[in-house]
Amino acid sequence: MIKAGIVGGTGYTGVELLRLLARHPQVELQAITSRGEAGKQVSDLFPNLRGRLDLVFSEPEHAKLADCDVVFFATPNGIAMGMVPGLLEAGVRVIDLAADFRLKDAALWQQWYGMEHACPELLDEAVYGLVEVNRAQIKQARLVANPGCYPTAVQLGFLPLLEAGLIEPSSLIADAKSGVSGAGRKAAVGTLLCEASESFKAYGVPGHRHLPEIKQGLQRVSKEPIGLTFVPHLTPMIRGIHATLYGRLTESGRDLQMIYTNKYKGEYFVDVLPPGAHPETRSVRGSNMVRLAIHQPQQGEVVVILAVIDNLVKGAAGQAVQNMNVMFGFKESDGLEDIAVIP
């Protein structure tokens, strides 16, 4: 049994962490912080946790967090990097759900996130927490950078073909759609029900913050520079990401289905669907699953990969718990065995 703390327990990823960790067989929740809700019962704010969690929100005090074995940061970008060095010094292992440690280049991070990095010396040490790629490094890590939601779907979709050298890395396209919970739990006109419902729009076309993260991950397996057009869209649903990925094949006649099946064989949270399938976001809602399907329309030179995840689970809190399980030697599926909710 380990003791866990959460910094920033009132956002959508924070409450998702609470939901998953409250019934984790190997975890005792020690601290849940929120400056705005300090002193308030967690179950008063999130009634779904009534009877499952007897904790109050507290201030993010170092002494209380330093008493944990692992601390999750479910905070806005730029918060974790101010506190992580002290926690690591105290022997605490850290999983950051924001973007503070995802990019290895401090100058690139500043370019995309608009602030100077507070501890660039930790960027090299931080392990990128895509378990299906970096499982061995995560097991030994003190600091894990939990991937973003779009990068999770896009990377897991493209990686098998890039590793096999079967698609041109210079002309990749990722057309991705997300539910409005991806924008976070804040008051913003664009995510109000009356604004987002019955509507559909692209955003971040000139450049989205997840673009350098995706390119960095794909570059690790490609022998050539990555050229990626990434266009995210906002859809009128609460949860879910659907990524439609396009790549130009470098050779014909290969069994693409078998390449994906072999790549993800034995992965508990990656489901490669049978030929001709079209995954739906509802098939992963509330679960930590990734579902993938591979198509080669008219047997042409373009391959289409379809990937769906729940942006709050595999795209955030569930992936963080999966990382924790690997770090502490637990069964990788502990606390994450929920079946998707339909309808």
* Catalytic site positions: 149
Tell how far CA 270 is from the center of its chain: 14
Contact 141, 313 (CB under 8 A): no
Contact 168, 247 (CB under 8 A): yes
Q: CB under 8 Å to 300, separation ≥6 — which residues?
A: none
Q: CB under 8 Å to 138, separation ≥6 — which residues?
A: 127, 129, 131, 144, 323, 326, 327
**Exposed/middle/buried for 187, CB within 10 Å: 0-12, 13-18, 19+?**
exposed
**Exposed/middle/buried for 338, CB within 10 Å: 0-12, 13-18, 19+?**
middle
- Across 18-38, b (16+ Cβ under 10 Å) vs e yields bbbbbebebbebbbbbbeebe
Q: CB under 8 Å to 337, separation ≥6 — which residues?
A: none
Q: CB under 8 Å to 18, separation ≥6 — which residues?
A: 6, 9, 29, 32, 42, 46, 49, 53
317 secondary structure, DSSP code? I
SS3 of residue 12 by DSSP: helix
- What does the block give as tokens for 260? 């994906």
Beta strands 93-96; 70-73: pairing state: parallel
